[in-house]
Amino acid sequence: MSKPFYITTPIYYPSGKYHIGTAYTEVLCDMLKRYHKLHGEDSFMLTGTDEHGQKIQNKAIEAGITPKEYVDKQAEEAKKLWSLMKIDYDKYMRTTDDYHEKVVQDIFERFLKQGDIYLGEYEGWYCEPCESYWTETQLVDGMCPDCNREVKKMKEEAYFFNMKKYADRLLKYYDEHPNFIKPDYRKTEVVNNFIKPGLEDLCVTRTSFDWGVKVKSNPKHVVYVWLDALTNYITALGYGQENTELFDKYWPANIHLVGKDIARFHLIYWPIFLMALDLPIPETIYVHNFIVMKDGKMSKSKGNTIYPEQLIDKYGLDATKYYLLREMPTSGDEVFTPEDFVGRYNSDLCNDLGNLLNRTISMINKYFDGIVPDYKGHINPVDKELEEFITESVKNNADYIEKFEFASSIQAIWDLISRTNKYVDETEPWVLAKEEDITKLESSMNHLAMSLRAIAILIRPFMKDTSDNILRQLGLNTEVTFKDLDIIKEFNNIKVIDKGEPIFLRLDADEEIAYIKELMK
């Protein structure tokens, strides 16, 4: 029996509305959690908010409220969005939770005692929005290499974590665990850019602000956000607390999902902190790319931002999730364009999937009074081919997920949808009906229903409502799991609905493209 599945998103900065890029990590995590759950695994998903630090303190001052009031409000907003997006998380973690703060303090004192943390003085280029210090050589044209904003020289008494001590152990760990960093090229990047040039010790406290976890033995210091933030993955499960039941069950994580901007912190510092704590290291850290606009990063000042609520409101949750997941390549950024969004909606969802369902339901009604004929084996020459294609698609979908190629895992389902549409053209049910070739017609209808059921189950991890809708129209129970993918399941006496209901309405492309462009302003 494999270990229960533990999957996490990063904890989000509660510093404003989340655009579709930020929501991507959450949507991907939710899909994987549901996928594993539908495979019958005991799965646990963690998300939450990363509530300390200067940036948050500044925001609260701007708003004229206390940092605590500010983060309480923001955490509520975040939960509302995840609820609108039907994110199936098991725990919402907040770094201002008492138990978390206490464990962070204990960990800090332990590191001090072990000699992993020492007191020194830090001078460097500090990027306030990213809460990161950079060395002179890391700056790009004198600006922050992550966000391209201004940095300022800062100097302060600070504690440091002795990263150098662990550098060789970390490299050895990477080599011995080829699945730890995914996709593989991220490993090369992190080794060449940060470890080979000489791993620098990490500054882990600040004295310049006080919205954070205070160092117990020297309270003028607050713990610098990354040591505070990263440990959420274990404190959320009860690590260092009285009840460690969840921690014992779920740790180490199977997968942490992170965007490329925070890869460095997860790939270097997090495993080193865990080594210092003598804890097992997560199986995989998957680094995804960014959703960007034609003119670069999404930002309010550029006026090129789009929010998930806006798309969901007009086009529905499933279409929004489908687009985000389907378009993200493993090797580069996903460029959001209204043309692509509307194009995918009309061609993939409305034409390929929607029409297939509609045609099938209306033919079953027309030829067999709505009763799906029984399965009788391979009657049409292409029946066997379609069955094999279903089996193959189920396997391809799983293989791609296993290989962390998520957009391809969805492509595999749409290959099956195309193959099934082709099957309709090949069997020509309208000709069979005219020629009164009933056995072949029965088989054609049965195979179409069979394929649509498989499709409904395969899309379930990211298009739950559409999946329910297809199953309901086919007259099937919506309580399904991946175990029900056994294809030759009999459709004896199943009654489909009397009149098919379109699952996606065709969009007027020009009108909707103009509408989305307007939203982006």
Site residues (vs ligand MSP, CB under 6 A): 10-13, 21-22, 24-25, 50, 229-230, 232, 258-259, 261-262, 290-291, 298
Which residue lies nearer to ligand MSP by CB, 262 or 507? 262
Which residue in the block uniquely carries the two structure tokens 């850019």? 193
Q: Are 331 and 395 in contact (CB under 8 A)?
A: no
Which residue lies nearer to ligand MSP by CB, 147 or 433? 147
Which residue lies nearer to ligand MSP by CB, 302 or 378? 302
**Distance between CA atoms of residues 261 and 242, nearest Å:** 34
Classified as helix, coil or strand, 132 is strand
Q: Are 365 and 474 in contact (CB under 8 A)?
A: no
CB of residue 13 vs ligand MSP: minimum separation in angstroms? 4
CB of residue 273 vs ligand MSP: minimum separation in angstroms? 11
CB of residue 251 vs ligand MSP: minimum separation in angstroms? 15
Which residue lies nearer to ligand MSP by CB, 375 or 406? 406
**Distance between CA atoms of residues 320 and 21, nearest Å:** 12
Which residue lies nearer to ligand MSP by CB, 262 or 416? 262
| Cα distances (angstroms) measured from residue 82 to each of 21, 38, 47, 72, 468 | 14, 20, 10, 16, 20
Structure tokens of 283? 């199986």
Longest dimension (CA), the chain: 89
CB of residue 407 vs ligand MSP: minimum separation in angstroms? 13
Helices (H), 85-178: 98-114, 167-176
Structure tokens of 280? 């097992």
CB of residue 377 vs ligand MSP: minimum separation in angstroms? 48
CB of residue 263 vs ligand MSP: minimum separation in angstroms? 8
Burial class (CB in 10 A: 0-12, 13-18, 19+), 369: exposed
Which residue lies nearer to ligand MSP by CB, 10 or 316? 10
Which residue lies nearer to ligand MSP by CB, 276 or 298? 298
Which residue lies nearer to ligand MSP by CB, 107 or 372? 107
Q: Where are the beta strands (DSSP E) in 181-318?
A: 181-182, 202-203, 205-206, 222-223, 255-259, 284-288, 291-292
End-to-end alpha carbon distance in the chain: 52
CB of residue 293 vs ligand MSP: minimum separation in angstroms? 9
Q: Minimal CA–CA distance to 50: which of 71, 20, 22, 80?
A: 71
Which residue lies nearer to ligand MSP by CB, 15 or 421? 15
Cβ neighbours around 184 below 10 Å, total: 10
Which residue lies nearer to ligand MSP by CB, 229 or 459? 229
Structure tokens of 40? 């019958």
Which residue lies nearer to ligand MSP by CB, 17 or 314? 17
In the bound complex, which residue of the shown chain has the CB atom lying closest to ligand MSP?
Answer: 259
Classified as helix, coil or strand, 387 is helix
CB of residue 93 vs ligand MSP: minimum separation in angstroms? 10
Which residue lies nearer to ligand MSP by CB, 47 or 360? 47
CB of residue 35 vs ligand MSP: minimum separation in angstroms? 19
Which residue in the block uniquely carries the two structure tokens 């460029």? 335
CB of residue 184 vs ligand MSP: minimum separation in angstroms? 19
CB of residue 56 vs ligand MSP: minimum separation in angstroms? 10
Classified as helix, coil or strand, 345 is helix
Say which residues have a Cβ less than 8 Å from residue 481's Cβ, sequence separation at least 6.
38, 39, 40, 457
Structure tokens of 390? 């279903």
CB of residue 78 vs ligand MSP: minimum separation in angstroms? 9
Q: Are 482 and 39 in contact (CB under 8 A)?
A: yes
- Half-sphere exposure for 48 (CA within 13 Å, toward CB): 25
Burial class (CB in 10 A: 0-12, 13-18, 19+), 137: exposed
